[in-house]
Structure 1
Amino acid sequence: MGLIIYLNGQYVPEEQAVVSVFDHGLLYGDGIFEGIRAYYNHVFKLEEHLVRLYESARSLGLNIPISKAEMEEVVLETCRRNNLKDAYIRLVVTRGRGDLGLDPRNCPTPTIFCIAASIQLYPDELYERGMELVTVPTRRNLTEASNPQIKSLNYLNNIFAKMEASLMGAPEGLLLNQEGYVAEATGDNIFIIKNGVLITPPPFAGILVGVTRNTIMQIAREKGMPVEEKLFTRHAIYTADECFLTGTAAEAIPVVKLDGREIGSGRPGEMTWELIRAFRELTKVDGPLIFKD
């Protein structure tokens, strides 16, 4: 049995969930999205995801025709219709149907759809032994061009980097910004730990400010761990004590090698695992309930 998809005010079988070939989300990548997780009957950090969705829309000049409260119910009801208490949710808003020109003024009505399904980005053993990164040739988008803080449908920058990492035999790639500072991975934020301090690139380095990133930083502060957002180069990763990535799909995953160089002991670090365990505990209680009974 297929999935039930929310599409423009209706819940329809996936085979009926179709958009126009004139939709500017398809033609030009003109739209935004959020990847959201549900755990243990809770939609994790839903409010934070919706805030970012609506901020991305405002930055694009895209008017979402329903309120955040209504959008929250869309997400919850999509999970209910698919009888899912644990899920990966993809919420998408496009500019909508227009013509073959670029002008968004010719797209009067945005397209909204929501998918709730399952996802496993990396195998379990990769979390246990840690993953390897490689630095890819593609640089992160300029903030003055296509700002990475907008979670847009135009994902070619990330896709190019993912292709390059795969061609080099690595599961994930590291993107630098135009100045050569560390930005992020193809779909995740990056953290290092050095002398007990948790360090991550600041938003102006050219990153998407991740919901999981912010959650990990909050957990670290609550544990009394110093947290710094500052620019750093690959040298800081090569010489770090520990390293890990964060993202909605990946959650938090240890990194043990970059460009063939072992990081720290070459094994997932204790402080990393302390943060991962605390994050996993938080997923059991945070967020609105899907099923109230």
Structure 2
Amino acid sequence: MTQHVFLAGRLVPEAEATVSVFDHGLLYGDGVFEGIRVYGGSVFLHDAHIDRLFESAKAIHLEIPMSPAEVKAAVEQTVEANGVTDGYVRLVVTRGSGALGLDIRKTANPQVIVIAADIALYPKELYQSGLKLITSGTIRNHPAALPARVKSLNYLNNILAKIEGFAAGAGEVLMLNHVGQVAECTGDNIFVIKRGVIKTPPLDAGILAGLTRAAVIQLAKRRGLEVREEAMVRHDIYTADECFLTGSAAEVIAAVSLDGRPIGDGKPGPITNDLLADFRALTRGEIEVDLS
């Protein structure tokens, strides 16, 4: 089946889904996006993703040329047109085309792009065996320079760290912030568990306000588990009983070592497995969480 992409207000075949070479999204990474999962034909946490998209756009002074309801409808239309039952949506808004240079006043016609397709971020077996992590020498962008709360098109920071992971044969890469604290991985938020208490970096550590992160925090509290959002260093991961990552594409996946040091017994832990089971139940609509 031919892939169809939503672009310029309508669905077009993939081969016709083109933007100008003068679009500032291409030239300067000037735009925002959301990665959204689809389960059973339903778009997961749809309203929360749309809200975050518009917040990111507002933060960079980008006016999206559609209402939230129209963008939501475009996502659903694209999912249906491509027959995606369990998959992934990439929702992108670019600044639009303009003159060379950084002056956004010389840009026009921001582009809203929706792509719906299948995805498998990690092989299935890694959800049973867990990921091996290394620490990147590339730190997370300073939050005063490029706030992680803005889900922008500029992912070079994350890509440079990911390259280090590929070279080392690691499944994912831990990134520290500008003061040496744990921030997040290249595409996932991170949690540790010690003596039954769950700990994750706070938003002011320079991390994305992940929606899967927020959902898992609520799932943990639903189980009566204590969750602390506080500063972490690598020592907290090295000495943890369990560790796991969360993200729209990754979902919930255990991390079993960092920099060659096993985490806990070097296997996915029971609390991680419980939260993964709860998350999958959430995606099937069997349980609910409140992210408001």
The normalised TM-score by structure 2 is 0.97
Structure with the bigger RCO (C-alpha within 8 Å, sep 6+) is 1
Name the residue aligned to 1:290: none
Following superposition, the deviation at residue 108 of structure 1 comes to: 2.1
Partner Cα separation in structure 2 for residue 286 and residue 78 of structure 1: 25
Partner of 1:206: 206
Determine if the alignment matches structure 1 residue 186 to structure 2 residue 186: yes
Give the match for residue 159 of structure 1. 159
Contact 1:56 1:151 survives alignment (8 Å): yes
The aligned counterpart of 1:291 is none
Distance in 2, matches of 1:116 and 1:132, equals 29
Hey, which bits of structure 1, 4+ residues long, moved more than 4 A? Answer: none
**C-alpha offsets along residues 7-57 of structure 1, whole Å, 9 cap, x if unaligned?**
010100000000000000000000000000000121100111111100000
Q: For residue 81 of structure 2, what is the amino acid of its counterpart?
A: R
The separation in 1 between residues aligned to 2:234 and 2:179, in whole angstroms, is 12
Deviation at 1:2, TM superposition (A): 2.3
Match of 1:61 in 2: 61
CA distance in 2, matches of 1:224, 1:107: 51
The one-letter amino acid of 1:194's match is K
Gaps of 5+ in 2: 288-292
In structure 1, distance between residues paired with 2:84 and 2:208: 28
Q: Which residue of 2 aligns with 1:137?
A: 137
CA 1:286–1:4: 2 relative to 1, 3 Å: farther
Matched, 1:76 2:76: yes
1:185-241 Cα distance to aligned partner (Å, 9 max, x none): 000000001111111000110100111000000101111100110001000000001
Alignment partners' CA distance in 2, 1:30 and 1:163? 23
Q: Tell me how far 1:276 sits from its aligned partner.
A: 0.4
Alpha-carbon distance in structure 2 between the residues aligned to 1:113 and 1:50: 13
SS in 2 for 1:73: helix
**What are the within-5 Å matches in structure 2 for residues 7-86 of structure 1?**
7-86=7-86
- Segments of structure 1 that go 5 or more residues without pairing to the other structure are 288-293
Secondary structure at the aligned position of 1:124 is classed as coil
Counterpart position of 1:231: 231
Deviations 1:111-161 (A, max 9, x none): 111000000011111110111000010000011101111100010000000
Q: In structure 1, what residue type is equivalent to 2:101? A: G
Separation in 2, partners of 1:86, 1:165: 28
Preserved CA contact (<8 Å) 1:44 1:286: no
Match of 1:254 in 2: 254
Q: Is the 8 A contact 1:32 1:152 kept in 2?
A: yes
Name the aligned partner's letter for residue 157 of structure 1: N
Using the TM superposition, give the Cα deviation of residue 86 of structure 1 relative to its aligned residue in structure 2, in angstroms: 1.5
> Partners in 2 of 1:236 and 1:254 — Cα distance?
15
Q: Distance in 2 between matches of 1:8 and 1:202?
A: 37
Per-residue deviation, 1:285: 1.7
Residues 286/29 of structure 1: CA separation in 2 closer, same or farther (3 Å cut): farther
Residue 286 (structure 1) shift: 8.0
Matched with 2:93 is 93
Question: Structure 1 CA distance, aligned partners of 2:77 and 2:267?
Answer: 41
The count of residues paired between Structure 1 and Structure 2 equals: 287
What is the percentage of aligned positions where both structures have the same residue?
54
Aligned alpha-carbon RMSD (Å): 1.1
Distance in 2 (alpha carbons) for counterparts of 1:237 and 1:172: 14
Q: One-letter code of the match for 1:112?
A: V
Q: Matches of 2:102 and 2:286 in 1, distance apart? A: 41
- Give the secondary-structure state (helix, strand or coil) at the position aligned to 1:76: helix
